[in-house]
Copies of this chain bind each other. A is one copy, B any other.
């Protein structure tokens, strides 16, 4: 795979997560990479292609992370912690996650990007639910509500805490994440 292609995806993702989907342009990317506008269109004919590829890359990255955790024998607690770390990093970088960024522009997205975004959300929620079920069985976690609701609440909590924290000057984000995952 082309290095430029990868750089475009990476930059595109960062732009979506900091400025939003409808606020970034091919010019933003080409200027940053020192290439011409048309070069970006060479790799991704339309913004729709780029958007879809960015979401697909995110899915792939998530799945690699999960595989990686399995091969390292991470337990459920360690897996949840690793998941939370993604959001801690996003918070440090003052970026949202892909789901939160694209949610507000959802109805302006094309069908393929919407489908991939839905798929990504489903994959994360399914993974979270499974982790919660197994972790509860192993007595690593204690919670009352059903695992699906809890998975949804954890994901929502992560997504929105990045957003709401943009409105606040100082906050103990790490502590907040801990509170979210340990809610009963």
A153 is an interface residue with CB less than 8 A from chain B: yes
Residue in B closest to A150 when the chains form the complex, CB atoms: B179
Residue in B closest to A117 when the chains form the complex, CB atoms: B167
Q: Given B107, B121, B176, which contacts A164 in the complex, CB threshold below 8 Å?
A: B121
A contacts with B: majority SS? helix
User: Using Cβ atoms and an 8 Å threshold, which residues of chain B touch A18?
Assistant: 107
Stretch of A5-13, A19-27, A67-75 that contacts chain B: A19-27
27 A-B contacts (beta carbon < 8 Å): A19-B107, A19-B108, A20-B105, A22-B105, A23-B108, A96-B103, A99-B164, A101-B104, A103-B104, A103-B164, A103-B166, A103-B167, A106-B166, A117-B167, A118-B167, A121-B164, A121-B168, A149-B175, A149-B176, A153-B179, A155-B160, A156-B157, A156-B164, A156-B180, A157-B157, A159-B163, A183-B184
Which A residues fall within an 8 A CB radius of B? 18-23, 94, 96, 99-101, 103-108, 117-118, 120-122, 145, 149, 152-153, 155-157, 159-161, 163-164, 166-168, 175-176, 179-180, 183-184
